Amino acid sequence: MAGQPLADQVIVVVGGTTGLGFSAARACLAAGARGVVITGRNPANAAGAASSLGPACVPLVGDATDPAHAPAALALAHKRFGGFHALYHVAGGSGRKMGDGPLHEITDDGIRATLELNLHSVILSNRAAVRQFLAQGSGGSILNLSSVLGRSPSPAFFATHTYAAAKAAIVGFTKSIAAYYAPQNIRCNVLAPALVATPMARRAAGDATILKFIATKQPLDGGRIGQPEDCDDAAVYLLSSGAKFVTGQVLAVDGGWSVSEGQIP
């Protein structure tokens, strides 16, 4: 995007120390943001990301499923940068190792842990942001990360049904709060990527059979796995005043996934 669409804005990126969140934080700074607070669970990742992004970035180590985490991030934004204008919630992840999978195989713990990580954490961060916007009387922008799997399933290689349910629920939740808080000028939107090369996607990105499938399922730009920076301009746009008349929308950045059949060998 040209110019400085986030000039003088303060952004909080929950889950901003790696992958899509880190790339978005870097893009926000390049788009003129005054400051960015990034959060994540791993202290080494947080320190490394903050060091890479420079003095306009402050890290916060913590767990997005903790109700105190997002309020602490917003407080840090105010303390270090003197304001808060937008939230991007990226934190989440596959529940495969926690017991998610095809419905007949999902464990009770897998349901709980996957929903807590991917849906509960979003509700908590959005609640904190809305409360802050209302207290400020300022309006603001919320962007939540979903997935194409929430509305465009791919059963051969990506059968994690609780994860898909959570990502679909993010869309319904975001649309609902977008409708409710529009009179307060609080905008709430969703970004829905397909398979992107992030730490969560290592299993798929290292599987030659899946990559062959992705070449036809995500056929844009030669047919490839996405890169975090493919989503940066969309995130900056939805967080910025350039989208001041946009709320309750879902933008798929998916390389054609949702309109392509994909060829299974």
Instruction: Please write the tens of the pLDDT for every residue from 6-22.
Output: 999 999 999 999 999 99
Distances (CA, A) of 148 to 37, 83, 134, 166, 192: 27, 33, 31, 12, 5
Question: What are 36's strand-pairing partners?
Answer: 11, 57
Q: What single DSSP character describes residue 17?
A: S
Residue 41's closest CA among 121, 120, 96? 121
Please check whether residue 83 is in contact with residue 14, taking contact to mean a CB–CB distance below 8 angstroms.
Answer: no
Does pLDDT of 2 surpass 80?
Answer: no
Distance in angstroms (rounded) separating the CA atoms of residues 115 and 118: 5
Active centre residues (catalytic)? 163
Rounded to the nearest angstrom, the gap between the alpha carbon of residue 131 and the centroid of all alpha carbons in its chain is 20
Map tokens 């730009």 to a residue: 221
Instruction: Please write the tens of the pLDDT for every residue from 173-220.
Output: 999 999 999 999 999 999 999 999 988 778 888 889 999 999 999 999
Distance in angstroms (rounded) separating the CA atoms of residues 45 and 52: 10
C-alpha radius of gyration, the chain, whole number:
18
Neighbouring residues of 252: CB distance < 8 A, sequence distance ≥ 6 = 148, 192, 193, 194, 258
Distance in angstroms (rounded) separating the CA atoms of residues 163 and 113: 10
Instruction: Please write the tens of the pLDDT for every residue from 94-123.
Output: 999 999 999 999 999 999 999 999 999 999
CB-count exposure of residue 21 (10 Å: 0-12, 13-18, 19+): buried
- The predicted structure's pLDDT at residue 101: 97
Section 13-39 average pLDDT: 98
Please check whether residue 216 is in contact with residue 263, taking contact to mean a CB–CB distance below 8 angstroms.
Answer: yes
Distances (CA, A) of 101 to 41, 123, 133, 135, 143: 24, 23, 37, 41, 27
Section 27-56 average pLDDT: 97
Distance in angstroms (rounded) separating the CA atoms of residues 157 and 94: 13
Please check whether residue 34 is in contact with residue 81, taking contact to mean a CB–CB distance below 8 angstroms.
Answer: yes
- The predicted structure's pLDDT at residue 128: 98
Neighbouring residues of 19: CB distance < 8 A, sequence distance ≥ 6 = 90, 196, 198, 199, 200, 228
Domains and CATH numbers, the chain: 10-196+227-253 (3.40.50.720)
Section 213-229 average pLDDT: 95
* pTM for the whole structure: 0.96
Interhelix angle for 121-136 vs 161-181, to 10°? Answer: 10
Q: Identify the band that residue 1 occupies on the pLDDT scale cut at 50, 70 and 90.
A: very low
Counting Cα atoms < 13 Å in the Cβ hemisphere of 13 gives: 32
